[in-house]
Structure 1
Amino acid sequence: MPEPHKKPRIIAIANQKGGVGKTTTAINLAAALAVGGLKVLLVDIDPQGNASTGLGIDHNARNGGSYALLAGDVSLADSIVATNVENLSVVPAVADLMGADMEFSAHERRNFLLTDAFAQGCDADVVFIDCPPGLALLTLNALTAADAVLVPLQAEFFALEGISQLMRSVEMVKRSLNPKLEIEGIVLTMTDRRNNLSEQVSGDVRTYFKDKVFETAIPRNIRITEAPSHGIPVLLYDFRSTGAQAYLSLAAEFLRRARARKELA
């Protein structure tokens, strides 16, 4: 008999608010885990394709990318592209995703397109899905396919208001589409200890969500913002920077939590 397909841990990285460090966290957490020896796949379903660009994937090398995967035109294995980081691969995004809501809305399994694609299995320990901002069809597909959702949360005034909407959406998906879905955790991003408001918001988030919030917070760091223009994660751009070290710390904490729950070996 053929060997059964490997079932990776699938995590959607989502926040309906843009500009919160979602794609930056997807790239750099995935890279940090890959550098640590895990086989990681990053699936980019954001039409902007920033995760693909940030990993140096040229537009000409993307073929149909995640759009073709959702459409069922290619297999998961055939849509995967290698990156410059050992153990890290990506299913890149293409501009065709911009019309996904309209194009797939009449599809009988419109909420399960990504679930069906993942049913083929893949040679990865962890799969991250970089979602677009908003809670439309693409994000809904990610939440339906995922085991858990990781929420990057910028330490700023509107953070708590935005996350409550996301949490309601997660509960809706859990009730109607994906009963196994859980909150992997909340990652505070763009923190600034010199900023009283940033510190206050961080404290409020930790008080409200308690141990759902990762101890590691990602600081504002110029190296993090520079790295994507070079098509590499911050770990490869400037390993000693505070941003790179923060994502290494986040990866270590992510692993500790997952292993404590026996989700990863």
Structure 2
Amino acid sequence: MAATIVSVINQKGGTGKTTTTINLGSALQKLGKRVLLIDLDPQANLSYSLGLTEPERTLADVFTGQHSLPDILQECDGLQVAPGSNELVDVEISLVGQESREQFLQSMLQETKGFDYILIDCPPSLSLLTVNALTASHEVIIPLQMEVLTLQGLGQILNTVKQIKSTLNPALKVKGIVVVMYDKRRKLSLEIEEYLQDNVEERIFKQRIRLNVKLAEAPSFGKSVLDYDSASNGAKDYLGLAKEYLAAK
């Protein structure tokens, strides 16, 4: 059975996108799924957070045809990872003049076998790399902070998904919105949560990802929070999210 390909997307930086990609992936792996993480962000935060600080081969080498995707994969605590690098900036520039430039990642992913889920950490912008990810994906997950400006960004993301669905990938769907960095003591969090429930048609996962210091510490040790401290609230929340994700239709 082919892997389910999931883009984790938010067009604003610092929204928990990389944290969600890593820890949802790790939680799915703990639940017995075979998971591949794709670091499509030129900042390569996902790679760094998993201890891949100077990978010999990266995703940029696959885009330029120097290596196949299976050639660059590295194992991190049971996860397979396709490392990113700053060279993806140059890759994106070179893609602009290419024919079928939106389908490059889709073709690359067809080379991979043996995975249940492929999670793509997208750049924090509507770039050509992001369009590649959305064109290749079956589903989108949107991490969302409980901040006023993120609501504006959510509308932009949903419009982007709608555009990709109508032009490049009719099968694309929003799997759900993940509330991250959640603090129920803040009145604003509760107000925005209520607004989402009343105004957003897409699924909002019931599992909240609470503010948790262990989530912030884990990347310093090159681990997911589940491998860094399995008893932490961060680990419990992402495991709960993975279970809810698997149960969602």
- The TM-score with structure 1 as length reference comes to 0.91
2:123 pairs with 1:123: no
Using the TM superposition, give the Cα deviation of residue 213 of structure 1 relative to its aligned residue in structure 2, in angstroms: 0.5
Partner of 2:96: 105
Do the aligned residues in 1 keep the contact of 2:177 with 2:202 (CA within 8 Å)?
A: no
1:191 Cα offset (Å): 0.9
| Amino acid in structure 2 at the alignment position of 1:201 | I
Aligned to 1:3: none
1:92: how far off? 0.4
* Alpha carbons 1:72, 1:117 under 8 Å: kept: no
TM-score relative to the length of structure 2 = 0.96
Using the TM superposition, give the Cα deviation of residue 210 of structure 1 relative to its aligned residue in structure 2, in angstroms: 4.9
Residues 47 and 98 of structure 1 are in contact (CA less than 8 Å); yes or no, is this contact kept in structure 2? yes
* Matched-pair contact (CA < 8 Å) for 1:23–1:130: yes
Question: What pairs with 1:108-257 in structure 2 (closer than 5 Å)?
Answer: 108-210=99-201, 212-257=203-248
| Structure 2 residue corresponding to 1:45, chosen from 33, 40, 44 | 40
- SS class of match (1:111): helix
For the 8 Å contact 1:191–1:199, the answer to whether it is kept is no
Which secondary structure state, in structure 1, belongs to the residue aligned with residue 200 of structure 2?
Answer: helix
Choose from 70, 83, 86 the match for 2:63.
70
For the 8 Å contact 1:29–1:251, the answer to whether it is kept is: yes
Amino acid at match of 1:36: L
Q: Where in structure 2 are there 5+ consecutive unaligned residues?
A: none
* Off by >4 Å, runs of 4+ in structure 1: none
Tell which deviates more after alignment, 197-206 or 108-117.
197-206
**RMSD value over aligned CA atoms?**
1.2
Matched AA of 1:33? L
Does the Cα contact within 8 Å between 2:174 and 2:202 map onto a contact in 1? no
Q: In 2, Cα distance between the equivalents of 1:73 and 1:7?
A: 25
Q: Residue 51 of structure 2: which of 49, 53, 56 is its match?
A: 56
- Aligned-pair CA distance for 1:204: 1.3
Aligned residue pairs, count: 249
Structure 1 unaligned blocks of 5 or more: 1-5
Is 1:11 the counterpart of 2:13? The answer is: no
SS at structure 2 position matched to 1:112: helix
Equivalent residue runs for 1:26-45 within 5 Å: 26-45=21-40
Q: 3-state DSSP class of the match of 1:214? A: coil
